[in-house]
Amino acid sequence: MKSTQQPLNIGADIAKDEIVVACAEQSFTPRKIANSRSALLAWLNKLPQGSRIAMESTGSHHERLAELGPQAGLDGVRAQRQGRAPLC
């Protein structure tokens, strides 16, 4: 069950095996999450509704998080392609 806290703004640094996430509101310290479906779902389901995640697309390593975020009820999951303008 998601909390009723204010939405968070999160940045994610994507790698093949792990994702490092940090929160603009400093609601949690930066942490590493395994880049696996189960680990990401467990973390995403703890975030407040409406939270936003920004990430850089890195090959295909970002795709799991980009897919699972909206499935977990997050309003904004945005990937920026390397060397290009942000996706909107």
All structural domains of the chain with their residue ranges: 9-81
Residue 87: is it exposed, middle or buried by C-beta count within 10 angstroms (0-12/13-18/19+)?
A: exposed
Residues in contact with 16: Cβ distance below 8 Å, sequence separation at least 6, in sequence order: 35, 61
Q: Is the pLDDT of residue 87 over 50?
A: no
Ranges of beta strands (E only) in 16-74 are: 18-23, 31-34, 52-57
Which phi and psi angles does 38 have, rounded to 5°? -65, -45
- Read off the pTM: 0.80
Tell me which fold the domain 9-81 belongs to.
Nucleotidyltransferase; domain 5 (3.30.420)
User: What's the pLDDT tens digit per position in 35-48?
Assistant: 999 999 999 999 99
Q: How far, in Å, CA of 19 to CA of 11, rounded?
A: 10
Say what the pLDDT of residue 1 is: 39
